[in-house]
């Protein structure tokens, strides 16, 4: 096979591996309210995404300008396409979460702080920092996404079985697993500096999870169900699993700090391929990302 046709087939494989699915979800606002006690840490993550994911997209668009490897560049374009769909869908869900009660409108204050942080990072931090942050976040969600599929967490969420709210979470977790190598590869291509990635990526994880905690805590204290019972909600085991699952997730996240870490070497749970196929079939459209 010639070098040119080899690259062509790698580009095609990249597009097939990370399809940009355009999804239609019809989520019932009443279900968002009723499922809150079981799902609220997931809602805490959702609240970050309309700020985090546009920041990742801005970072990756900047990185594209410096990328000289056509396959890595196509990976970055597929990543941008997938992330741009994620935050649009989560913004709709977040409007429903805030609308549950007047108290939850107070989430906007934390959202404003987070958006200010990400705008500041784009404007004042280096591309190297922003890419290392992106990889810190992606490595953590990849570990979390794998654990969700391996432990069949989506099957345990009793309040949302067979609903579009569940499909939203599965679709997003699935695409996070599919594009898990992208931020690692572009950082490696442009910088390859392990120690810097370690420090800035760890800061990124701390920064992101601090906001997930702030959002989740706010929801736990201000949800109508919490106000009715006079105390904050406590996370459900259906979502977070038992101590063994939590320990194994911590172990998986700690592996990303090792010098030899490469997401391409991680084992993908068997059921992911079936979800990939099924969600591609459910998509209204599959968008093709092209070089501009
Ligand atoms: Fe995403
Ligand atoms: Fe992602």
Query: Considering Cα of 202, then 205, then 211, then 214, what sign does the dihedral take?
Result: negative
**CB of 214 closer than 8 Å to CB of 110:** yes
C-alpha of residue 242 to centroid of ligand 2, in Å? 26
In 106-163, which residue ranges form alpha helices assigned H by DSSP?
107-124, 127-150, 153-156
C-alpha of residue 14 to centroid of ligand 1, in Å? 17
Could you list the pLDDT tens digit for every one of the 292 residues in the chain? 688 889 999 999 999 999 999 999 999 999 999 999 999 999 999 999 999 999 999 999 999 999 999 999 999 999 999 999 999 999 999 999 999 999 999 999 999 999 999 999 999 999 999 999 999 999 999 999 999 999 999 999 999 999 999 999 999 999 999 999 999 999 999 999 999 999 999 999 999 999 999 999 999 999 999 999 999 999 888 888 888 888 888 888 888 888 889 999 999 999 999 999 999 999 999 998 988 7
Which two structure tokens, joined as six digits, stand for 139?
């490595």
**Closest by alpha carbon to 31, among 43, 48, 41?**
43
What is Dmax (Cα atoms) for the chain? 69
C-alpha of residue 86 to centroid of ligand 1, in Å? 5
C-alpha of residue 137 to centroid of ligand 2, in Å? 8
**Closest by alpha carbon to 138, among 37, 27, 56?**
56
Tell me the domain boundaries of the chain.
Answer: 22-287
Which two structure tokens, joined as six digits, stand for 43?
């809602």
């Amino acid at each position: 096979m010639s070098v040119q046709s080899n690259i062509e087939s790698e580009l095609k494989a990249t597009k097939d591996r990370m399809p940009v699915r355009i999804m239609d979800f019809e989520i019932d606002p009443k279900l968002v309210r009723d499922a809150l006690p079981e799902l609220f840490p997931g809602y805490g993550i959702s609240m970050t995404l309309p700020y985090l994911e546009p920041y990742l997209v801005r970072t990756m668009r900047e990185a594209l300008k410096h990328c000289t490897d056509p396959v890595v560049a196509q990976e970055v374009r597929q990543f941008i396409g997938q992330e741009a769909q994620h935050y649009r869908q989560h913004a709709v869900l977040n409007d429903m979460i805030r609308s549950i009660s007047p108290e939850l409108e107070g989430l906007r204050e934390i959202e404003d702080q987070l958006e200010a942080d990400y705008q500041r990072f784009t404007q004042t931090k280096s591309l190297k920092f922003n890419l290392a942050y992106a990889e810190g976040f992606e490595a953590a969600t990849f570990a979390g996404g794998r654990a969700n599929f391996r432990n069949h967490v989506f099957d345990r969420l009793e309040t949302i079985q067979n609903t579009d709210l569940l499909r939203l979470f599965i679709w997003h977790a699935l695409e996070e697993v599919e594009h898990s190598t992208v931020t690692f590869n572009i950082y490696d291509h442009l910088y390859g500096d392990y120690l810097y990635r370690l420090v800035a990526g760890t800061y990124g994880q701390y920064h992101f999870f601090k906001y997930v905690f702030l959002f989740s805590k706010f929801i736990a204290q201000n949800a109508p169900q919490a106000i009715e019972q006079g105390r904050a909600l406590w996370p459900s085991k259906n979502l977070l699993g038992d101590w063994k699952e939590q320990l194994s997730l911590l172990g998986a996240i700690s592996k990303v700090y090792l010098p030899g870490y490469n997401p391409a070497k991680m084992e993908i749970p068997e059921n992911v391929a079936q979800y990939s196929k099924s969600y591609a079939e459910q998509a209204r459209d599959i968008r093709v990302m092209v070089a501009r």
